[in-house]
Amino acid sequence: MIVRTLISLWLLGTLIPLDSQLIAQESHAADLWYFGRGAGLKFSGTGLPLPLTNGALNTLDGSAVISDPVTGKLLFYSNGSTIWNAQHKPMPNGTGLLSDESSGQPALIIPYPGSKSRYFLFTTGSRDVSNRTLRYNIIDMALDGGKGDVVEKNVLLLERGSEKMTATRHCNGEEYWMVTQEWGTNRFMAYRITSSGIDQPVVSSLGSQYPNGDDVQGTIHLSPDGSMVAVTSAGLEQLALLDFDPATGLLDNYRIIGTGKNYYGGEFSPDQSRFYAITLPHNVPAELIQFDLEQPDPATINSTQITLAQQEGTWPGGQLQIGPDGAIYVSFTGRAFLGRIAFPNLVGTACQYLHDAIGLGGKVTSYGLPNFIDSDLPNVESSIHTVDISLLPSTSNAVPGELVEITLQVCNRKSSPLSPLNLVVNLPNGITYESGLPSFPLVSTGTIQGDACAEIKFRGKIADTISETRDLEFCAEVDVDQLPYCTTPRLLCGNIQVGVAGDPCPEPSVVLTDIPDRKAEATGSLILLPVDITGFPSGEMVESFDMAIKFDGKSTTLDLEDEDDMTDESLTEDWDVSLLSNENGLVKVQLNRGSGNPITSDGTLLFIPIRLYIPTGESFPETDINATFTLPNRCVEFAEGTGFAELDICGLDWRRVEALNAGRFSLSTPTITPSMDRVELTYTLPVSSHASLTLFSLTGTQIASLVDEIQAFGQHTIVYSIANLPNGLYIVRLQTPEWRTERVISIYH
């Protein structure tokens, strides 16, 4: 099967994110957390995070952690005083850093732009005037056998630092801004982090001055899209909001949106419509508070304060952090659980805060959580990845007189409309406009709705007068006025090679693939989809190739835990499989011969190992699998001399995979008997797995464990006595490793 559009996509690489080369949705850099008194979390992409207890960190306040953005494997972590490697051992030069464990944000890790192995680790002092400096360290992961070591240490950046620092990407998507406050002044310092190092700070003087240690105590946070900065001050009892320009590093529009409480920890919701804060009070319980940032003025925002929870005892406060799953995690000091705000974009109790959401495996919290760069997290409204532009020709090769089609597609990745959008497409000499648009150059202005794409197609004719093989370049200029921080027009270009044959071009040899239909016995079971090839060219040999597998990431997972599942009993048996990238719904792998045999004939190339799941609320588990693979210079024969052969993709097919059982994960509305002494709970599991059914009070205290065992898929019903429960509202939670849902029970005897 020949699909020329996909040739351009995979081989020419013309699908380009407008604002970033590193797409936040792809990153696994924040999959692992270490914090508190030996506590940790592991995010796997499905279900709730699991506790980690293998960390060496034991600290009073915050920390910083970094994992490999592609694989999610741990690189290193720090409390600002020590740097531990992936084996939880201090790096050889990783001790004696000049931070303080009582600092609210003692450490922050920023990748070194342009480097694949180096990272900046920034450290702050504390309100203790003997150590309030801001410093940086450089870690090179290529050292110590790949475990990393410190190559520059305790380099002074700011003498009068504070406990606060945060970061976001520059609007060019490649560099970073690190933002902090200067102690004893009202100056904000924004340091631009580039491939050349750290620039002199951009200084913005506005807002409150911090004259003493108690006033500077607090945290600073940048919104995921980099447009706002929030600053808490426990001593001044205020929460401030500012605007930030990630193109220039300037801050302005300082306003107080919270007063009257000792605000300490904070975090924006993923869509930055809400802000959450934890207080650090004196002799009263700490509170978790939500602010509605969609209100028109600071006074109104201040009036929207809603207390979602209180600490059990007096005094302790804590911090908050968005997770890779888009939920916000809450640390109240000295607890064996983390709280979790499941839907932080929603107002009030609709955000569904659960106080004892995540058990820590016997470890306990302290005041802090890891300090991550929120603009690089998945599931956030990041300004760094706002628009995708693709400029695709219908073929990468053509002959004089041939008609070609060019598609310009612009996709809006934000939830809000994008307008105005100005597009200009220019054709080169050698291509004449034929149809599809009224005129050239094209100037188009319009609106693209949120999470939608606009597409323009037109046809052109290769000039008959071209007499020698050459490349024709065509370009599109895109100017998005609505992106205030990155207004420079972007130029995107593609090429079509026009070949003039001296000798007749041979017919290309094309290897076809087929992915047969398959059915799963039950959702969650492993399905091995064979990829069969036919028509392999006689005398050819392949020892390596790349493969891209595209699928519905919501209902389907690609199981690469055991690479033998992919290659056993196939033409690639005993081949090595390397993961190139893994984003939601798109996995790219490279296969190399290793100890196996080269491919020289038809047969089953490999198997695609997938598992199907049914998202909550859906009744049909089905997905489409789109697999492409490229065999370098093996799928075509090239004529000697001038001219060229068409380059055909080495296989593409769509197949639908359906699971036979139509059950779905659900928990029915609880049914209470007329005598109000029993409740009947009915639930459905789409896959056999460990299931727990737990009853909680409305404050999150566990009342009873109703089910905690491995159960078969299908419908289950239990009856529980509520005769001894006081009147009120209760929560029943159904949870498996993949899903979780809850229902409210109202009891009135």
With respect to residue 115, please indicate whether it lies within any of the assigned structural domains: yes
Looking at 442, 476, 498, which one is the last position of a domain?
Answer: 498
> What is the Cα–Cα distance from 581 to 548, expressed in whole angstroms?
9
Shared domain check, 311 and 292: yes
Phi, psi of 146 (to 5 degrees): 90, 0
Shared domain check, 544 and 414: no
Q: Which residue, among 428, 420, 322, has the nearest Cα to 371 in the 3D structure?
A: 322
pLDDT value at position 372?
Answer: 95
Sign of the C-alpha dihedral computed for residues 278, 279, 283 and 285 taken in this order: negative
pLDDT value at position 141?
Answer: 96
- Mean pLDDT in residue range 334-345: 94
Shared domain check, 415 and 331: no
Q: Which residue, among 67, 173, 70, 72, has the nearest Cα to 119 in the 3D structure?
A: 67
- Mean pLDDT in residue range 503-512: 39
Task: Report whether pLDDT(382) > 90.
Answer: no
pLDDT value at position 531?
Answer: 76
Q: Please, is 92 exposed, middle or buried when counting C-beta atoms within 10 Å of its C-beta (0-12, 13-18, 19+)?
A: middle
Shared domain check, 365 and 438: no
The region of weakest confidence among 23-37, 405-419, 626-640 is: 626-640
pLDDT value at position 704?
Answer: 93
> What is the Cα–Cα distance from 329 to 592, expressed in whole angstroms?
41
Q: What is the CATH number of the domain that holds 533?
A: 2.60.40.680
Task: Report whether pLDDT(744) > 70.
Answer: yes
Q: Which residue has the higher pLDDT, 191 or 280?
A: 191
The region of weakest confidence among 49-63, 129-143, 449-463 is: 449-463
pLDDT band with cut points at 50, 70 and 90 for residue 718: very high
Looking at 347, 368, 383, which one is the last position of a domain?
Answer: 383
pLDDT band with cut points at 50, 70 and 90 for residue 48: very high
pLDDT value at position 288?
Answer: 96
With respect to residue 655, please indicate whether it lies within any of the assigned structural domains: yes
Query: What string of DSSP letters covers 633-653?
Result: TTS--PPSSS-------S-EE
- Mean pLDDT in residue range 714-733: 88
pLDDT value at position 736?
Answer: 82
Burial call 298-332: b when 16+ CB within 10 Å, e when fewer: beebbebbbebbbbeeeebbbbbbbbbbbbbbbbb
Phi, psi of 216 (to 5 degrees): -80, -10
pLDDT band with cut points at 50, 70 and 90 for residue 742: confident
Angle at 636 between CA 635 and CA 640, to 5 degrees: 150
- Mean pLDDT in residue range 54-81: 95
Phi, psi of 349 (to 5 degrees): -70, -10
64: Cβ contacts below 8 Å, ≥ 6 apart: 77, 78, 80, 107, 108, 109, 121, 370, 371, 372
The region of weakest confidence among 72-86, 418-432, 511-525, 600-614 is: 511-525
3-class secondary structure, 216: helix
Q: Which residue, among 425, 487, 484, has the nearest Cα to 456 in the 3D structure?
A: 425
Shared domain check, 481 and 420: yes
Shared domain check, 280 and 138: yes
Strand order in the sheet with 50-51: 32-35, 39-42, 50-51
Q: What is the mean pLDDT of the chain?
A: 78
pLDDT band with cut points at 50, 70 and 90 for residue 711: confident
- Mean pLDDT in residue range 701-717: 87
Q: What is the CATH number of the domain that holds 168?
A: 2.120.10.30
Looking at 644, 659, 674, which one is the last position of a domain?
Answer: 659
Residue 686 tokens, joined: 């789409």
pLDDT value at position 351?
Answer: 95
Q: What tens digit of pLDDT does each residue of 523-557 get?
A: 566 778 777 776 666 667 778 777 777 766 666 77
With respect to residue 507, please indicate whether it lies within any of the assigned structural domains: no
pLDDT value at position 433?
Answer: 72
Task: Report whether pLDDT(522) > 70.
Answer: no
Q: What tens digit of pLDDT does each residue of 569-619 get?
A: 999 999 999 888 777 667 888 888 989 998 888 888 888 887 766 544 444
pLDDT value at position 341?
Answer: 96
With respect to residue 621, please indicate whether it lies within any of the assigned structural domains: yes
pLDDT band with cut points at 50, 70 and 90 for residue 126: confident
- Mean pLDDT in residue range 14-23: 32
pLDDT value at position 621?
Answer: 42
Q: What tens digit of pLDDT does each residue of 219-275 get?
A: 999 998 888 999 998 888 999 999 998 888 999 999 999 998 999 999 999 888 999
Q: Which residue has the higher pLDDT, 513 or 587?
A: 587
Task: Report whether pLDDT(650) > 50.
Answer: no
With respect to residue 546, please indicate whether it lies within any of the assigned structural domains: yes
Domain around 29: 24-383
Shared domain check, 672 and 590: no
Q: What tens digit of pLDDT does each residue of 361-378 get?
A: 999 999 999 999 988 887
pLDDT value at position 219?
Answer: 93
Percent of the chain clearing pLDDT 70 (strictly above): 71
Q: Count how many domains the chain has.
A: 4
Q: What tens digit of pLDDT does each residue of 88-112 get?
A: 999 999 999 999 888 889 999 999 9
pLDDT band with cut points at 50, 70 and 90 for residue 442: very low
pLDDT band with cut points at 50, 70 and 90 for residue 15: very low
pLDDT value at position 72?
Answer: 92
With respect to residue 107, please indicate whether it lies within any of the assigned structural domains: yes
161: Cβ contacts below 8 Å, ≥ 6 apart: 124, 125, 132, 133, 134, 180, 182, 183
Task: Report whether pLDDT(439) > 60.
Answer: no
Do the beta carbons of residue 456 and residue 407 sit within 8 Å? Answer: yes
Element (H, E) at 714: strand 714-721
- Mean pLDDT in residue range 22-30: 63
Q: What tens digit of pLDDT does each residue of 162-174 get?
A: 889 999 988 777 8
Task: Report whether pLDDT(359) > 70.
Answer: yes
Shared domain check, 397 and 368: no
pLDDT value at position 740?
Answer: 78
Q: What tens digit of pLDDT does each residue of 175-216 get?
A: 999 999 998 889 999 999 999 999 999 999 998 776 665 667
pLDDT value at position 106?
Answer: 94
Task: Report whether pLDDT(409) > 60.
Answer: yes
pLDDT value at position 241?
Answer: 97
- Mean pLDDT in residue range 730-746: 82
pLDDT band with cut points at 50, 70 and 90 for residue 22: very low
Shared domain check, 690 and 612: no
pLDDT band with cut points at 50, 70 and 90 for residue 638: very low
Q: What is the CATH number of the domain that holds 490?
A: 2.60.40.10
Element (H, E) at 567: helix 564-567
Shared domain check, 171 and 52: yes
Shared domain check, 154 and 49: yes
Q: What tens digit of pLDDT does each residue of 662-672 get?
A: 346 778 878 88
Task: Report whether pLDDT(161) > 80.
Answer: yes
pLDDT value at position 415?
Answer: 64
Shared domain check, 539 and 611: yes
pLDDT value at position 189?
Answer: 96
- Mean pLDDT in residue range 511-517: 50
